[in-house]
Amino acid sequence: MKFGKAACGILAGGFFLALFTSCNNSEEVGLDFITPGERFHYVVDSSAVITATTLRQDSLTSEKRSASLLGCMNDPVFGRSTAHLLSQFRLSSNDVEFGEAAVIDSTVLLMKYLSWYGDTTTRQDIRIYELTQDLYVDSTYYSNLDISGFYDPASPIGIFSYQPLPGQDSVLIRLSDSFGQKILDADTSYLTDNTTWLTFFKGLFIQALPVEQGGSVISYNFTGGGSRFTLYYHNADSDSLSYEVIINSNCTWINLFEHDYSASSLPGLINDSLYAHPEVFLHGMSGTRAHVKLELPDEILSLAESGVAINKAELVFSIADDPTAGFFARPLSLRVFNARPDGTNQFIDDLSVGEDYYGGTFDKTAGTYSFNIGRHLQTLVHPDTAQRVDNNGLFLVLSEERTSAARLLLKNGPEGMRLRITYTPLH
């Protein structure tokens, strides 16, 4: 431990946590806030023991996200991952009339590209089905939704094989003429507005088939109104007619995620109760997360009742060696949450200060992800036991775990995880 001269503020009938947590880790911490002679000692302690284990995610809410994922990817470390999509589509106008003797020429689904993850040189096989059950825009849907009764697997309306090119604007998929003709032949009562339309056409299920090697997961944009399918047709009066059926903010769309870890490095590591494996595995698309144990120094715990001000607490995670990282870019940022006993996430107080203070972004030079968790640690050693938060550890996840297929290997234990606490005893 290191002792030095410093202060983070004037104590008047207690301590001001906001002031302490805003200080920098320096022997001149906060000297501009106090008058000479009123300096307090602070201590820098790096003896906390930090270990983690990999946990399998159960499921995540997955409706109406900013990126919609589709595709299958084989990863030499994480096995096979697949993303499917379900979506409503809405009429682009009310009181639609296709005219007398309307005949379909083609029906084309357009999906706007956003980005990709993995090897896009591998072809993807897609099957598209008409939904037979309703989706609801005001409902919550999870990434493991059972859709066995939502479509007829024997009746695809689109079969498509393509090499993803997310550098382009969009992908076009030809749907069956019979599907398009069904819409042209619909009773006009279903075409008056979207309330009646959705009782007639409930949406599409877009299924990604397995790939044996390589593969990628593509992100599509369903939020901006650009993704749609278009009916190209003619009628008794005109040729070269078209009508767009769109995805917009009044629709709901849902991602479904599947992971097969059986041929990966993970089966014997997930939920390891010893927290002893040298690496921790984080995976998006409701794949895996980590539970991080914080064993705080005895000296800090002994000061809890008499009072201790946590000036700063820097939690650092180091990346592990990963020869496969070329195809699988490291995620831009991570998030830590307080771990509730029931396994759910709870935001920690430090996030409320702002992203710049909270941290979590990848430092390419250092190969680390760092967080400031001083406010959270203060709740763990609050002098009032009634207000003290139980130390159940932290959950560590990818920031974009619902909208990214990214994955990450971290070093476990003292070689990869450390907590540097700067604190001031108050008595």
Residue 27 has a pLDDT of 38
Residue 12 has a pLDDT of 32
Residue 40 has a pLDDT of 60
Q: Which among 145, 169, 218, 167 has a CA at the least distance from the CA of 404?
A: 218
Q: 53 has which bridge partners?
A: 291
Residue 34 has a pLDDT of 40
CB contact set of 140 (below 8 Å; sequence gap of 6+):
61, 63
DSSP letter for 366, please: T
Residue 224 has a pLDDT of 81
Q: Which residues of the chain have pLDDT under 50?
A: 1-38
- Rg (C-alpha) for the chain, rounded Å, is 27
Q: 117 has which bridge partners?
A: 217
The answer to whether residues 303 and 381 touch, using CB atoms and an 8 Å cutoff, is yes
Residue 42 has a pLDDT of 86
Residue 20 has a pLDDT of 39
Q: Record the pTM.
A: 0.88
Residue 90 to residue 308: CA distance in whole angstroms: 58
3-state DSSP percent of the chain in helix, strand and coil, to 5: 10, 40, 50
Residue 225 has a pLDDT of 79
Q: Of how many residues is the chain composed?
A: 427
Residue 303 Cα distances to 3, 10, 186, 250, 356, angstroms: 16, 20, 74, 54, 30
β-bridge pairing 241-246 and 90-91: antiparallel
Residue 272 has a pLDDT of 87
